[in-house]
């Protein structure tokens, strides 16, 4: 099994994906253990002094003015975890919780939090044992960290609350830790606070969304090319010299992908045949411009994610010169903005894909295809309601594109009077990515059927490869009406598994 070593300088997106989705094991580097011990020494020295230090010998948030005596400090740290583990709603996905815990461990290992090495090791042990805390949908405002979600994870570290075992069964966390031979942690000064103060949940979901969207944008370029081909459109608009004069990198990449898929097609270039048209519709002609803008949005979001992956997000933080200083680095605005931006770009990609699908089904705009791609129109309805489903998904994506980060609800007696709502932005983006996958699958289903209905014209070799792969995956071709949901589910599974890109790249070479 792959092992991820956590040091003091952050982690990579591939590390997050390996731990969250592949169950990679975690090890702490010697450098991280030394940094943990050094920072802990600073915290303990401050804890021994009579002067109050926020997070070490005081209360938290609006209660920070109270000085806490030494005999109550362990109780203070336990209490913040218990009281903040106040989430509600459905359980959050296992991969999200694993990413959340791993990214909190990343910051702990930076040496800026003052947490003991044994606490960090226990966090790694829990992940390695396949124990996943029960975390709920609601409870984070994306400021002062993803508080409730991180608190539920810290509760498991203490041997309290519920968690999912490696067998997928939810049981008391104390039982699961005991079976794995893990001793629950007794938190000391600052440790409870340090386990809660981070953007780890929203960052983990950003990293996973970026990976999923990168794959989806490639698949969407392929399905757009198939739709262009099925509509007898022209590939001249994809010429690299046209895109070079508007030098957006994503646009050029999408156009190049589409051109590679269409190479050798007998279907393109017939726009002047029976029903002459000067230009294809925007949903066909402007596909690279829309998908390309989304690709450039991904690039910006990836830059923000990489910066955050290298960050140590906590409050207060331990500095190398021995100071323990308060700050506002826990505010989720940088991450929240790009999460919302991605939801906007994804909604637009879904919208233009749906417009192409609708065009394929409309006999007045499909340039010779049967109504709704039906076998016997009137007796058969063809893909009429598949487009309804696609439209419903697009409509929801438009609602999900409303930014969460533009909202703020004050909390903690107005101490935390401006929050990022980054967790909420991340949660809705996950739904958007899920919906976009289904939308691309429906366009794929319609476009492959439409190409097969173009008798006498040979599709591009890459298109033929996609059609063959889709049919081998259980997605049926043209014919009389049948129970459609299983076909759509098979197309969805094919897209999710990366089947579209896997089918074309042996013909086209690697897509951009």
3-state secondary structure of 426: helix
Who's near 434: CB < 8 A, 6+ residues apart? none
Parallel, antiparallel, or unpaired for β 88-91 and 136-138? antiparallel
Q: Pick the catalytic residue: 54, 217, 282, 337?
A: 54
What phi, psi does 349 have (nearest 5°)? -65, -40
Q: Which H or E element spans position 99?
A: helix 94-108
- The encoded tokens of residue 98 equal 């694993």
Cis peptide before 316 (omega within 30 of 0): yes
Annotated catalytic, 54? yes
What phi, psi does 338 have (nearest 5°)? -75, -30
Strands (E), 273-382: 317-318, 324-325
Residue count of the chain: 512
Q: Which H or E element spans position 241?
A: helix 240-244
What phi, psi does 362 have (nearest 5°)? -95, 115
Q: What is the DSSP letter of 411?
A: B
Q: In 3D, which of 112, 127, 97, 104 has the Cα closest to residue 199?
A: 104
Cα-Cα-Cα-Cα dihedral sign, residues 200, 141, 135, 58: positive
Q: What is the DSSP letter of 8?
A: S
How many Å is the maximal CA-CA distance in the chain?
Answer: 90
From CA 226, how far away is CA 231, in angstroms rounded?
Answer: 9
User: Contact 432/234 with Cβ under 8 angstroms?
Assistant: no
Q: What is the CA radius of gyration of the chain?
A: 26
* First-last CA distance in the chain: 30
- The encoded tokens of residue 172 equal 């008391």
From CA 120, how far away is CA 311, in angstroms rounded?
Answer: 17
Residues carrying an active site annotation: 54
């Amino acid at each position: 099994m792959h092992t991820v070593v956590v040091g003091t300088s952050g982690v990579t997106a591939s590390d997050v994906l390996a731990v969250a989705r592949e169950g990679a094991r975690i090890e702490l580097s010697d450098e991280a253990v030394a940094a943990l011990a050094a920072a802990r020494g600073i915290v303990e020295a401050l804890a021994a002094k009579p002067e109050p230090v926020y997070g070490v010998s005081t209360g938290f948030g609006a209660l920070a003015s109270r000085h806490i005596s030494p005999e109550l400090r362990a109780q203070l740290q336990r209490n913040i975890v218990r009281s903040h583990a106040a989430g509600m709603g459905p359980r959050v996905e296992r991969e999200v919780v694993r990413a959340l815990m791993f990214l909190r461990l990343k910051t702990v290992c930076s040496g800026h939090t003052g947490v003991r090495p044994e606490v960090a090791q226990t966090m790694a042990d829990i992940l390695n044992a396949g124990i996943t805390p029960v975390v709920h949908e609601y409870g984070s405002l994306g400021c002062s960290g993803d508080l409730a979600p991180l608190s539920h994870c810290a509760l498991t570290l203490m041997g309290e609350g519920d968690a999912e075992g490696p067998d997928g069964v939810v049981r008391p966390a104390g039982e699961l830790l005991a079976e794995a031979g893990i001793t629950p942690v007794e938190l000391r000064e600052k440790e409870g606070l340090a386990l809660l103060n981070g953007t780890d949940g929203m960052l983990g979901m950003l990293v996973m969304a970026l990976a999923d969207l990168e794959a989806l944008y490639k698949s969407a370029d392929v399905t757009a090319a198939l739709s262009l081909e099925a509509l007898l459109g022209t590939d001249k608009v994809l010429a690299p010299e046209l895109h070079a004069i508007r030098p957006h990198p994503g646009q050029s990449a999408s156009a190049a992908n589409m051109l590679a898929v269409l190479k050798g097609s007998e279907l393109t270039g017939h726009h002047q045949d029976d029903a002459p048209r000067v230009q294809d519709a925007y949903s066909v002609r402007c596909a690279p411009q829309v998908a390309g803008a989304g690709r450039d949005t991904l690039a910006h979001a990836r830059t923000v994610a990489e910066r955050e992956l290298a960050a140590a997000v906590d409050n207060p933080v331990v500095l190398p010169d021995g100071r323990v200083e308060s700050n506002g680095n826990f505010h989720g605005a940088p991450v929240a903005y790009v999460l919302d931006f991605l939801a906007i770009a994804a909604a637009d990609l879904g919208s233009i894909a749906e417009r192409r699908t609708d065009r394929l089904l409309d006999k007045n705009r499909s340039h010779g295809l049967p109504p709704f791609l039906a076998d016997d129109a009137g007796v058969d309805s063809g893909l009429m309601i598949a487009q309804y489903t696609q439209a419903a998904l697009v409509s929801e994506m438009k609602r999900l594109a409303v930014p969460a980060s533009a909202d703020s609800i004050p909390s903690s007696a107005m101490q935390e009077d401006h929050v990022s709502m980054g967790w909420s932005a991340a949660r809705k983006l996950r739904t958007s990515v899920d919906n976009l996958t289904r939308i691309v699958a429906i366009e794929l289903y319609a476009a492959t059927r439409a190409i097969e209905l173009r008798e006498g014209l040979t599709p591009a070799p890459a298109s033929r490869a996609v059609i063959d792969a889709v049919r081998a995956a259980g997605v049926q071709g043209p014919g009389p009406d049948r129970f459609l949901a299983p076909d759509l589910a098979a197309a969805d599974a094919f897209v999710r598994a990366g089947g579209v890109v896997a089918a074309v790249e042996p013909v086209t070479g690697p897509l951009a």
